Structure 1
Amino acid sequence: MHKTLFLLPISLFFLAANCNATAEKEKSTVQSSAQGSTEDWDLETLKRHGLAADVMENLDRLGKIPAGTNVVDISLNGDFMGSFQLRVTPQGVICFTPEILEEMGLPFPDTARSDGCYDWANSDNQISLAWQQETQSLSIVVPAAWRVNRRQEGETGGTALGINYNYFSSLNISREQRNGYSWLTLDSSLNVHNWMLHSQQNFQQDDEGLTTTVNSTYLEHYLSKLNKTFEIGEITVHNTLFALDTIKGVQLSPDYILSEDNDGGNGVVVEGSANTPQARVEVRQYDQLVYTTLVPAGPFSLDNIPVQNLNAPLNVTVVETHGASQQFVVPVTQLRRFTRGTPPGYSLAVGKIQNVPDGRGVPAILTLNQNWQPGAWWSLRNGALLSERYHSVALALDGVPPILAGKASFSLQAIAEQNSYHHSNGLQLLLSGNHNLTRNVSLSAGLSKNSPTFVTLNEAMLGSAEQKNHQNTELSLSINWSPQWLGSLSLSHSRTRSYQNARLWRYTMLNWNRRIGQNLRLSLSASTGSGGKQKNKNIMLNVNWSMGEKHFRHYYRSYNHREVVGSEINGHLSDSSDYNLSVEQDNSDRTRSVQAALNSDMRYTRLSLSAQRDNRHFSNYTLGVQGAVALYPYGVGFSNNLLSDTYGVLALNKPLAGVPIITSGGTAWTDWRGKAILPYIPPWQDSSLNIDVDKLPKNIDVINGHRTLHLARGTFKKVQMTLLTGIRLLITARLADGRLLPKGSTLWEEDRIVAEAVDEGVIFLSNAANKANLNVKIAHSTEQCTLSYQLSDEQDDDKMLYKKIEVTCQ
């Protein structure tokens, strides 16, 4: 052994001296996928210098990936990409699969997909491989441009039909009557190679019967050469300064998803207050119902309302459990707070207004809008709207003044219109802004003023007698103050006045909450609203405290000369289910009621149930279900989260249910086939998928539980991951004379290294067979022995991290 150690550096020096004779051989070896290494040993030379045969055999194997299936750490251009399962043929060819190359951001030729083993490493002389036996790692170097181009364009393809559903039903029963209300929204999208056919249908069932509405049906595709999204059908006009309802036509517009400010939602929030449990909130824009849901008593905040645009106010109706209702208006000046950043470029739309009053002609329109970015801190938008009897131009300036160090922003907009419906001209001015006055104080405000003759296109198509509500002024104001001693305090106010009859809508809301210690929180909310003949006042005081995983709330609620006091408790039934129990009393008429609710995330859908009953024999029952269904070639899947237009499916190599997959759109779960729908994959950017390995059964390992995707918009992606179901085996090994097997001894199965003794007598096999005969090369010795074992089935592999055995190497 000492002789070997002495001769090895001499042999290496001899090889260096003869490098000219072996240079061509080494170059060939670097580029050969059959070897998968950067160099070969000159074994004949080493043999002539007295190196032992078994040592030469080990040196020869150091530069080659062993034949068979290996779990290998791969790095690309110095970046670690993950662990992958590589298959190597007996001839030394490394078989690269589409999944491996796509995970690394490299293209896989379609012509090679039918190959049983694609020799990618030998397909181009710019590919370089380096194998490290001691770390079981493979370093790959390719030209940087190979990855950059792929990352810019995004991966395309895939075919699937996705359907988002949102259903709720409410039933009220009293001695006098029985009435119910049901609502179902279906948003469907058929993706075929990045062409998307969208459609939305609403179904409403009440005492008057069933009403069906198809809000929109259109075809969409991203045109990379124009850097524009193309839409045709019943479409909402994007990136416009004008208040336009749905049109039937075509549109070219910038892709909002390419904006840096995009986070997957439109950000529109509607806040209000309900007086009774399970009240129904209805949000309308352009006289069309765009969103409805059930809310509990007290203040509510609804996120990502699917508005058509931010250029027309929202009319919100809160229908209480007993049938009474309250209304308020969210003005355009308040919606401006939710304006997203838009990429520079033009937008063009041509078509006809869809919702036109009966008996009136359908006007054809053309609208063109342009976004400019002339400076680093300000942007300019202009637009034109042309129709046969209506013309309008608009100009908007948005900015972040550098003198205020990025703490404030403003928007100034002007719209002029001329219409021959009423032979008039009009002007609208709008100013909005926000300012972070200090770290704890922020202020936002908006003001809109219309001339008496200003009308939108939708209003212009109405007769003079029907123009009762076109706006005069809109005002919105909100302030947030959050000093540490006070907690969080917010105040918002909005008012809208129309010209006809000077009709005025006002809505004011105050919210305060303060946390005291870890387990106590106080909150107060108050709102007042008026409009037309309706007035509503609401005050609610809450005291919240916790005891372990249970949360308690005691509340006082006052509305419209009624006073209610109550208490509730909520907690977890499981990791995915919550319950709520409450009792309350109406002091005005001594009505007492009890309510129970259950919310459950059932992994493949979401379910909510509630029931309420009082001592006057009034009962209320509600049911809600939300989720998505995806149909794709040779499969169907279910998701508890709504699908976006860019999504996919993950398939495990084994039918294992209940494996959590952490995605950008929430946690997905594999079904009984080992497949999980990936509901939301952000397009045009890197997005990660991760298997939650802590939740895997103890006898299962994952080769590479991470994937990074970079998809184009409209792609349906199929991702495959490999699980290893085997036995983890901790072996205490001894030699025939009773000594522990020396550290560094290697276990071989034919010509492949299986494991190494990590300590004296300690061997760990991560994917062991039930029965094996392994050849052991004893460290610091030329001797070998055979290690044999056979496992029993007495232990439950699912519940054990590893098995322990003691063996003697014979």
Structure 2
Amino acid sequence: MIRSADRRWARHLWLSLPCALLIASARGEEGAVDIRAAVGKTFDASGLRRRGLDPQLAEHFVRPVFPEGAQPVTLFINGAKKGSATARFTAEGELCMDRPLLQAAGLQMPDSASRLSHAADPYSALGCDDFSQAYPNALVELKPNAFEVHLIVPTQALVAPEQSADRYHRGGTAALLNYEVLTSRNDNAGTSQDFKSLNTLAGINMGDWLLRSRQNYSDSGGEAQVSHLYAYGQRTFSRLGATGQAGQINVANSLFSGTALNGVQLVPESSSLDDWGAASVVEGIAHSVARVEIRQNGTLVHTAMVPAGPFAISDLQLLDGRTDLEVTVIEANGSQNAFVVPGSHRARAGLDSVPGYSMAVGQYRRYDRGGEMPLVLTASRTWALNRTLPASVGALLTADYQAGGWGLGFPLSPLTQVNLSQLVSSAAKEGQKGTSVVASVDTLLTERWSIGASTTQQTRGYRQLSDTLTVQHTAPLAGSDTLTLNPYGGFERRYRDQYSLYTGLSNIPVGSFYLSHTHANRFDGQSSQRVMGSWAKNLGAVNLSLSVSQSKGVGSDNRGLQTNLSLSFPLGERSVRSYANSDKTGIRSGASMSEQLGEGVGYSVHAEHNHTQRETDLFASAHLLPRYVQATLGYSRYGQASTQYSGGLSGAIVAHAGGVTLSPYAVDDTFGLISVPGVSGAKITTPRGPVWTDVFGQAVAPSLAPYKKSQMTVITQNLPRNVEITNGVQDVQAGKGSVSQITFEVMNSRRVLVRAIDSHGKPLAKGLSVFDSHNQFLTIVIDDGNIYLPQVASDTRLHVALADNQICSLDYEPGEQVDFSAHYESAQATCKQP
């Protein structure tokens, strides 16, 4: 048990330090004061009295020590700062090397502590001296005045890199539901169309297992669609360096990522099982407040509302990494623009996977109805030949389809990287064989000038597995099969070759430039191309930008050359933007203003004038963060006949042993549960963003970086005046798929200013020492008999050391009601001698 007086001593050392300095000066020493130098020396009692200090104070500063119990400290290991930790100290102020401290320091557990792995109470199983007995040469230096602990340990005591997984938190149990709701209504010329969508991700973490299931519901104009996208179980085997999945999975090996299976797979532990979505970016231009729908294989996978102007949507949760993305931009007046982002534009050379083996086996999983679902086996191997030379090989096999491939990355120079990959396929039913080659090069010509290019080349006979399974065979015709093409287009509509080129200049005197060009040719002779360019320049607080784009051929929006000139600048707490757009349909100009009203409310208003149609459009939106959910509201008035209303909610619900907790952000595979006991509305910063405790003092840290340090900080300015946090900053080291328990220890304090008088009614003399019932020094009497007590417990009994070794007991009664708005309470007391 940590005594309250010990905590007071630790937390209010600043009250006592001036006394220590005066004590040292009473000894007649000159220059800098070193309190530790006072050990074994005597003090001039008369000198202390002349300065109005009790001579008995000297003994409390002869040897400064940490108070007994758990204390927040800063750890240093072999001279390197390790960060904050909680250390326990004995009644004599000696450090207790318990298990939590060893883990925080990254030190080997002594053999005597091996039994701790299943101990309910680690303090009871590990002796304070076990570490020092195991490593007698280890040195401990305590610095109580700085709240620092310095350890010099032999190298064999340090956790080896291959054992580092043991340092991370494992296990934990919680269930979660991520949700994203979007609804909109378009009224156009007397007709209305409603749109609704709900995306959910349900799951549970239990031990080192996690289960996930993703669903989607959409309703556009009364046409509803429900899609179950996947459901799988996953476990990370840290000691094997591997992660396993079973269920409705997407293959995550280095060359055939994204193939949907009902089966199992094993990949290296640090591999990202859905990194194709995080790496994908869909760019376009909206001509009003618009809804963007992104589909794969006809399934809606992402919906978002975007403002007028250029947009870029990232962090997508896609079905796979190679299938084309069908993007539809639905404007406020109901008009639609559609384009396709070819999967090969997003396919990488398979060189970013971590070294190791990957394998998967299962039945092919279709997102449409009907069709073949063969058994699939795929495996790959990635090597890190050196830091800049990765290589991969792999194969995918079914009864009627086989494919193999390789990938290689190598530097042409320290600033130039080349990636190459090739896939070859054989489709038995179609009698087709072919190959696909992807090549890319990226280089820094100068410190500020980068350039890159990529190309994909396919032969007519090349097939992906999904191509062979969407073909239906009909009755023989003239001795050969007749192919009925799949609903997404025939093989002649596949891309034969695709090219992309980009260049960028940043932070040069005239601004920053970016230019990209993509071109693709299909086997049926049609082609598509898209050019995008931008320039931006900061002139003090003013930002000036210009963007241009043009699409031609298949999938183009037929708007010709589109330009957007924008000027933005701050106006007090507000941000103001004015712009002008031009394309084939005419010229539009507008202005917008946005402002953040506190940490939970933001708004934006926007007006645009169409110079061709002589109409003015109005838009307004609000973003709300009422602590436990995120909400968006939008209104658009397009011309005289079209109106759009939109709204959205997003967040997560987490169920755990302590109850149900809401999160304003989606929860990842690795997350934490925060507890600030008894304190509601406490604000804590997390890697994802700020969160607030609910009425039960609980919150969710929605995302923790696996095998890295994640920091949580309590914002103490918003806490009630009677609440103190023992350690307001905590570093969490979480294993993949774990649920970490993060508790901030709370002390409820009552600050009281006591005016103390003696039995004759006179104020106690200035400088007298005040002690608790355990003879622990608390503070001194200040002017007019006042005693400031920063922490008052109901059972605290105080006494004051008077002159001539006399002691009096201080009886006082704090008020029954606590005024949390006041800095301290006031009380009267009489110090009575026995």
Could you state the TM-score of these two structures normalised by the residue count of structure 1? 0.82
Quote how far apart the aligned CAs of 1:349 are.
Answer: 1.0
Query: CA offsets, 1:314-346, max 9 Å, x none?
Result: 332222222322233334564257978321011
Query: Which residue of structure 2 aligns with residue 300 of structure 1?
Result: 311
Query: Which residue of structure 2 aligns with residue 163 of structure 1?
Result: 177
CA distance in 1, matches of 2:624, 2:533: 32
Query: CA offsets, 1:268-294, max 9 Å, x none?
Result: 2222111121x1222233444332211
Question: Is residue 430 of structure 1 aligned with residue 455 of structure 2?
Answer: no
Letter in 1 for 2:517: H
Question: Is residue 411 of structure 1 aligned with residue 419 of structure 2?
Answer: yes
CA distance in 2, matches of 1:634, 1:483: 51
CA distance in 2, matches of 1:243, 1:137: 51
Query: Which residue of structure 2 aligns with residue 256 of structure 1?
Result: 270
Give the count of matched residue pairs. 745
Quote how far apart the aligned CAs of 1:216 are.
Answer: 0.5
Structure 1 residues 418-567: aligned runs within 5 Å: 418-463=426-471, 464-466=483-485, 467-500=491-524, 502-518=525-541, 520-532=542-554, 534=556, 535-537=558-560, 538-567=562-591
Letter in 1 for 2:405: A
- Change in Cα spacing, 1:536 to 1:212, as seen in structure 2 (3 Å) is same
CA distance in 1, matches of 2:504, 2:826: 62
Of the three residues 596, 617, 628, the one matched with 2:652 is 628
CA distance in 1, matches of 2:334, 2:724: 56
Query: Which residue of structure 1 aligns with residue 391 of structure 2?
Result: 380
For the Cα contact (< 8 Å) 2:142–2:150, is it kept in 1? no
Letter in 2 for 1:272: G
Report the secondary structure of 1:109's partner residue: helix
Quote how far apart the aligned CAs of 1:208 are.
Answer: 3.6
Letter in 1 for 2:426: Q
Query: CA offsets, 1:125-158, max 9 Å, x none?
Result: 5499979796496969788777727742322111
For the Cα contact (< 8 Å) 1:650–1:720, is it kept in 2? yes
Of the three residues 734, 741, 765, the one matched with 1:718 is 741
Question: Is residue 185 of structure 1 aligned with residue 185 of structure 2?
Answer: no
Query: Which residue of structure 2 aligns with residue 45 of structure 1?
Result: none
Quote how far apart the aligned CAs of 1:122 are.
Answer: 6.1
Quote how far apart the aligned CAs of 1:603 are.
Answer: 1.7
Letter in 2 for 1:281: V
For the Cα contact (< 8 Å) 1:66–1:752, is it kept in 2? no
Of 709-718 and 191-200, the range deviating more from structure 2: 709-718
Report the secondary structure of 2:559's partner residue: strand
Quote how far apart the aligned CAs of 1:474 are.
Answer: 0.7
Uncovered stretches (5+) of structure 1, i.e. residues with no partner: 6-40, 42-53
- Change in Cα spacing, 1:495 to 1:116, as seen in structure 2 (3 Å) is closer
Question: Is residue 741 of structure 1 aligned with residue 766 of structure 2?
Answer: yes
- Change in Cα spacing, 1:351 to 1:357, as seen in structure 2 (3 Å) is same
CA distance in 1, matches of 2:555, 2:97: 73
- Could you tell me the percent identity over the aligned residues? 24
Quote how far apart the aligned CAs of 1:626 are.
Answer: 1.1
Letter in 1 for 2:261: I
- Change in Cα spacing, 1:70 to 1:334, as seen in structure 2 (3 Å) is closer
RMSD: 4.0
Quote how far apart the aligned CAs of 1:756 are.
Answer: 3.7
Uncovered stretches (5+) of structure 2, i.e. residues with no partner: 1-22, 24-39, 41-54, 472-482, 486-490
Report the secondary structure of 2:251's partner residue: coil
CA distance in 2, matches of 1:487, 1:602: 39
Could you state the TM-score of these two structures normalised by the residue count of structure 2? 0.80
- Change in Cα spacing, 1:334 to 1:790, as seen in structure 2 (3 Å) is same
- Change in Cα spacing, 1:609 to 1:530, as seen in structure 2 (3 Å) is same
Letter in 1 for 2:165: Q
Structure 1 residues 384-395: aligned runs within 5 Å: 384-395=395-406
CA distance in 2, matches of 1:786, 1:348: 76
- Change in Cα spacing, 1:120 to 1:617, as seen in structure 2 (3 Å) is farther
Quote how far apart the aligned CAs of 1:469 are.
Answer: 2.3
CA distance in 2, matches of 1:528, 1:445: 19
Question: Is residue 271 of structure 1 aligned with residue 283 of structure 2?
Answer: yes
Report the secondary structure of 1:439's partner residue: coil
Letter in 2 for 1:591: E
For the Cα contact (< 8 Å) 1:64–1:131, is it kept in 2? no
Letter in 1 for 2:397: L
For the Cα contact (< 8 Å) 2:297–2:367, is it kept in 1? no
- Change in Cα spacing, 1:358 to 1:210, as seen in structure 2 (3 Å) is closer
Quote how far apart the aligned CAs of 1:763 are.
Answer: 6.4
Quote how far apart the aligned CAs of 1:169 are.
Answer: 0.8
Question: Is residue 218 of structure 1 aligned with residue 232 of structure 2?
Answer: yes
Of 659-668 and 111-120, the range deviating more from structure 2: 111-120
Of 725-734 and 506-515, the range deviating more from structure 2: 725-734
CA distance in 1, matches of 2:65, 2:448: 63
For the Cα contact (< 8 Å) 1:330–1:494, is it kept in 2? no
Letter in 1 for 2:303: T
Quote how far apart the aligned CAs of 1:733 are.
Answer: 8.2
Quote how far apart the aligned CAs of 1:468 are.
Answer: 3.6
Report the secondary structure of 1:727's partner residue: coil
Query: CA offsets, 1:637-668, max 9 Å, x none?
Result: 111111111112111222x2221112222222
Question: Is residue 368 of structure 1 aligned with residue 372 of structure 2?
Answer: no
Letter in 2 for 1:220: Q
CA distance in 2, matches of 1:101, 1:710: 14
Quote how far apart the aligned CAs of 1:505 are.
Answer: 2.3
Of the three residues 330, 350, 359, the one matched with 2:361 is 350
Structure 1 residues 79-228: aligned runs within 5 Å: 82=84, 84=86, 109=116, 112-113=119-120, 120-121=127-128, 125-126=133-134, 135=145, 148=159, 151-153=164-166, 154-228=168-242
Report the secondary structure of 2:535's partner residue: strand
For the Cα contact (< 8 Å) 1:421–1:461, is it kept in 2? no
CA distance in 2, matches of 1:133, 1:774: 29
Question: Is residue 766 of structure 1 aligned with residue 790 of structure 2?
Answer: yes
Quote how far apart the aligned CAs of 1:99 are.
Answer: 7.0
Report the secondary structure of 1:256's partner residue: coil
- Change in Cα spacing, 1:143 to 1:699, as seen in structure 2 (3 Å) is farther
For the Cα contact (< 8 Å) 1:253–1:347, is it kept in 2? yes
Report the secondary structure of 2:211's partner residue: strand
Quote how far apart the aligned CAs of 1:573 are.
Answer: 2.4
Letter in 1 for 2:116: P
Letter in 1 for 2:573: E
- Change in Cα spacing, 1:205 to 1:134, as seen in structure 2 (3 Å) is closer
For the Cα contact (< 8 Å) 1:333–1:446, is it kept in 2? no
CA distance in 2, matches of 1:376, 1:95: 42
Quote how far apart the aligned CAs of 1:490 are.
Answer: 1.2
For the Cα contact (< 8 Å) 2:254–2:392, is it kept in 1? no
CA distance in 2, matches of 1:658, 1:472: 58
CA distance in 2, matches of 1:421, 1:477: 37
Report the secondary structure of 1:641's partner residue: coil
Report the secondary structure of 1:536's partner residue: coil
Query: Which residue of structure 2 aligns with residue 49 of structure 1?
Result: none
- Change in Cα spacing, 1:282 to 1:566, as seen in structure 2 (3 Å) is same
For the Cα contact (< 8 Å) 2:294–2:301, is it kept in 1? yes
CA distance in 1, matches of 2:122, 2:353: 45
Of the three residues 685, 694, 704, the one matched with 1:671 is 694
- Change in Cα spacing, 1:648 to 1:359, as seen in structure 2 (3 Å) is closer
Letter in 2 for 1:510: G
For the Cα contact (< 8 Å) 2:88–2:95, is it kept in 1? yes
Report the secondary structure of 2:159's partner residue: helix
Of the three residues 816, 821, 827, the one matched with 1:798 is 821
Query: CA offsets, 1:345-389, max 9 Å, x none?
Result: 111011122117765432222111110112232111111111111
Of the three residues 597, 602, 609, the one matched with 1:578 is 602
Letter in 1 for 2:338: Q
Quote how far apart the aligned CAs of 1:238 are.
Answer: 0.5
